[in-house]
C-alpha cells in the first residue's frame, strides 16, 4: 500500500497521472476475458480507483469536492446532451468494439442479488470514483500541462483556448459517445475556469454519471454503459 504513495510523492505529475493510468489499465483486457469477467474486472477497477483516490488525497490539493448550483445544473445539462444527441451521430467504433452492452440483469438473469450488486458497483464507481480521477487528470493536470510543464504555477481559472479544445477533444475521444464527450469536457473545463477550483467539475461529473445510471435503469438504455 505504501509503495503507491511513494510513487505518487515523486512528482506532481505522478500524483495526477499514475492513479488515472492504474484505473484505466484493466480496460485493455476487460473485453478479452468473456462476459461475466467484465463485471468482476470493473469491480476490481473500482476498488483500485478508490484506493488511488485515498492515497492521492493529501498530495493533490485541488482534489476537493465543492457544492454549487452551477455544478448541479451543468451535470444535468451534460446528461441531456449525452442522451439527446445520441441518435444523431456515428459513434466511436474505431476505438471501441460494439459488443454486448453492460447489463447485469441480463448477464446474471436468475441471480437478482448479483445483478443488483453489479448495478450498484457501476453506479458507485462512476459517481464517486471516476469523477475525482478523471477531473484531476484532464481538467487539472492535462489542461495545464499542455500550456506549461510547471503546471502547478498556472491558475485553474486561466483560459487557454488551444488547451481547452485539445483536452476536451482527447477526453471526448475516450468515449463511445465521442461528440457528447467533447461537449461534456468543454462544460466541465469551463466550470473549473469559472470557479477557479476543481470541486465543482467533480460534482457536475458525479451528477451526470449518477443521473445516467438512473436513466439506464429506468429506460433500459444499457447502450450508454
**DSSP secondary structure of 109-149:** TT-HHHHHHHHHHHHHIIIIIHHHHHIIIIIIIIHHHTT-S
pLDDT at 99: 64
CA distance 97 to 45: 20
CA distance 176 to 101: 12
How far is residue 40 from each of residues 4, 36, 105, 118, measured CA to CA in Å?
A: 23, 7, 15, 8
How far is residue 42 from each of residues 26, 49, 158, measured CA to CA in Å?
A: 8, 10, 35
In degrees rounded to 5, what are phi and psi of residue 147? -95, -45
pLDDT at 98: 63
Tell me the pLDDT of the chain (225 aa) as tens digits.
Answer: 567 888 899 999 999 999 999 999 998 887 677 788 999 999 999 999 999 999 999 999 999 999 999 999 999 999 999 999 999 999 988 767 666 788 999 999 999 999 999 999 999 999 999 999 999 999 999 999 999 999 999 999 999 999 999 999 999 999 999 999 999 999 999 999 999 999 999 999 999 999 999 999 999 999 998
Helix (H, G, I), strand (E, B) or coil at 174: coil
pLDDT at 210: 98
pLDDT at 1: 54
pLDDT at 218: 97
| Domain locations along the chain | 65-224
pLDDT at 94: 76
Find the angle CA(110)-CA(112)-CA(116) to the nearest 5 degrees: 145
pLDDT at 61: 97
Please give the grid coordinates belonging to residue 215. Answer: 436513466
pLDDT at 97: 65
Amino acid at each position: 500500500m505504501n509503495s503507491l504513495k511513494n510513487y505518487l510523492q515523486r512528482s506532481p505529475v505522478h500524483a495526477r497521472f499514475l492513479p488515472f493510468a492504474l484505473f484505466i489499465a484493466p480496460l485493455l483486457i476487460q473485453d478479452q476475458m468473456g462476459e461475466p469477467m467484465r463485471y468482476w474486472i470493473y469491480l476490481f477497477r473500482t476498488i483500485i480507483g478508490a484506493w488511488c483516490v485515498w492515497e492521492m488525497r493529501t498530495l493533490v490539493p485541488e482534489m476537493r469536492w465543492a457544492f454549487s448550483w452551477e455544478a448541479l445544473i451543468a451535470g444535468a445539462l451534460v446528461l441531456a446532451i449525452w442522451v439527446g444527441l445520441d441518435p444523431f451521430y456515428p459513434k466511436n467504433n474505431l476505438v471501441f468494439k460494439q459488443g454486448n452492452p453492460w447489463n447485469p440483469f441480463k448477464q446474471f438473469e436468475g441471480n437478482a442479488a448479483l445483478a443488483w450488486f453489479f448495478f450498484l458497483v457501476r453506479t458507485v464507481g462512476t459517481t464517486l470514483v471516476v469523477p475525482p480521477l478523471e477531473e484531476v487528470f484532464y481538467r487539472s493536470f492535462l489542461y495545464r500541462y499542455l500550456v506549461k510543464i510547471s503546471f502547478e504555477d498556472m491558475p485553474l481559472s486561466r483560459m487557454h483556448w488551444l488547451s481547452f479544445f485539445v483536452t476536451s477533444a482527447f477526453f471526448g475521444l475516450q468515449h463511445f459517445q465521442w461528440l457528447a464527450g467533447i461537449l461534456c469536457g468543454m462544460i466541465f473545463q469551463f466550470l473549473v475556469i469559472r470557479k477557479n477550483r476543481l470541486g465543482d467539475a467533480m460534482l457536475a461529473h458525479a451528477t451526470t454519471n449518477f443521473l445516467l445510471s438512473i436513466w439506464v435503469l429506468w429506460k433500459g438504455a444499457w447502450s450508454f454503459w
